[in-house]
Structure formats: structure tokens, C-alpha cells
Amino acid sequence: MIVYFQENNGDFLAIDTTTNSYHLRTFRKDRFEGRATAIQGLLGSVCTTGISREFLAVNCTKMAKWNVPAAWLKAIGY
């Protein structure tokens, strides 16, 4: 399942929740695979990265997909 978040800096993230079990089992880390900008605010710098549950809790707000701007959805590939 893809879940969307907005960082405190205004950028958006797309998190694949199905990847958490892999990270827990393989690395013993509470992380998810996600799509995010590598450079704050630069849509062209989107990358795939590991994102911790702690980072999401401290720095992000969960968003409904319809609240994510179309340009961001296109940039993060969803």
C-alpha cells in the first residue's frame, strides 16, 4: 500500500508500507522504501530511499492522495 506524507519542509513522500517487513527481517530496522526528493524542494531530484518510522513520526504529516499536488504525484511516480 502506498501512503503519502508531507515533510515539515513542504516536500511530499510516497511510502510503500509492504516493504517494512523486509527491512525488519533483513536489517532489524523499522524502515520503509519510499520516494522522496534528494534535494529539498527540487522535484527533479526524486529518488528511492529507506525512510524510518521515527523520521515519519517526527518530521511528517500523513496526507490523503488527493491532497498531494499533481506535480508531486507525477515526480514521485504515483
pLDDT, tens digit (0-9, with 9 covering 90-100), for 13-60: 999 999 999 989 999 999 999 999 889 988 889 999 999 999 999 999
Percentage of the chain exceeding pLDDT 70: 100
Assigned C-alpha cell, 71 = 506535480
Contacts of 12 (CB under 8 A, 6+ apart): 4, 5, 6, 36, 63, 68, 69, 72, 76
Its pTM stands at 0.89
77 pLDDT band, cuts 50/70/90, is confident
For residue 3, pLDDT over 90 is answered with yes
